[in-house]
Amino acid sequence: NKFEFRMVGSSQSIAGPNVALNTIAAEALDEIATRLEKAKDVNKEILAILKEVMTKHGRIIFNGNNYSAEWAKEAEKRGLPNTRNTVDALKAFVTPKAIKLFGKYNVLSKDELHSRYDIYVEQYAKHINIEALTAIHMTKRQFIPAAIQFVAELGASLAAAGKYGSVQKGLLEEVGKHLESAGKKVAKLEDETKKAQGISDVAKQGAAYRDKVFPAMVDLRGDIDALEAIMPADLWPVPTYSDLLFNL
């Protein structure tokens, strides 16, 4: 299909993907060259090769929107893999097919592939761990205290407003709901992170960060984003999305 290398971060070298793509291309060209070298009628063999390649691999060609849900469904229908997360994608390093390919051209040995798999899964786990700890820290020390302060201000305003405090009452209920929910969710995130940290097996730890820690972060973010949308800007402890987009 199509391969794109966009503006990756400085820690994300394209060397690794290029090694894989070049090795795959080398094998394909090797197979074609071997057949042509043995062919009695080169032109006839070229046509036969082209027909075989298109018949076998034509299913990867898609000239529509490769980012659309339509292509995801079509790819599944065509039997093409669609790996949706890093932990599963990294398993490609240690498949028998990959080990055979890289070994065939003396690019990477079986041990080297397994070591890369372990390192990349560990790297993934460490990144998610840092993000989780940051989310916990910011929620407990910045977002929850700010929300508590706003709740206190709303309570005082509601008491002063009396029968005209319907707006304050609605806001108080909304903020209180997300505040209570965020408190429970940050506790869950903290618990899942500690559990993941205690796993010694690299593959199992990576899966724990993917299946437990990351979803807990996403869940917590829902309440924090909701609070950001309704709290006064002067009480919000970090720059808002609007600040980042328009006021830098």
Task: Report the CATH number at residue 175.
Answer: 1.20.120.1560
pLDDT of residue 1: 46
Q: Residues 184, 216: contact at Cβ < 8 Å?
A: no
- 99 within domain boundaries: no
Q: Say if residue 130 is in the same domain as residue 72.
A: no
pLDDT of residue 22: 95
Q: Say if residue 61 is in the same domain as residue 130.
A: no
Q: Say if residue 148 is in the same domain as residue 49.
A: no
Q: Say if residue 15 is in the same domain as residue 134.
A: no
Q: Say if residue 143 is in the same domain as residue 52.
A: no
Contact partners, residue 10, CB within 8 Å, separation at least 6: none
- 90 within domain boundaries: no
Q: Say if residue 138 is in the same domain as residue 216.
A: yes
Domain interval for residue 174:
115-246
pTM of the model: 0.87
- 108 within domain boundaries: no
Q: How many C-beta atoms surround the C-beta of residue 20 within 10 A? A: 17
pLDDT of residue 154: 96
Q: How many domains does the chain have?
A: 2
- 36 within domain boundaries: yes
- Mean pLDDT of successive 10-residue segments in the chain (248 residues)? 66 86 96 96 96 93 86 91 93 97 97 97 97 98 97 96 94 97 98 98 97 98 96 93 82
- 38 within domain boundaries: yes
- 12 within domain boundaries: yes
**Domain ends where: 31, 61, 82?**
82
Q: Say if residue 151 is in the same domain as residue 230.
A: yes
Q: Say if residue 44 is in the same domain as residue 140.
A: no
- 178 within domain boundaries: yes
pLDDT of residue 148: 97
- 109 within domain boundaries: no
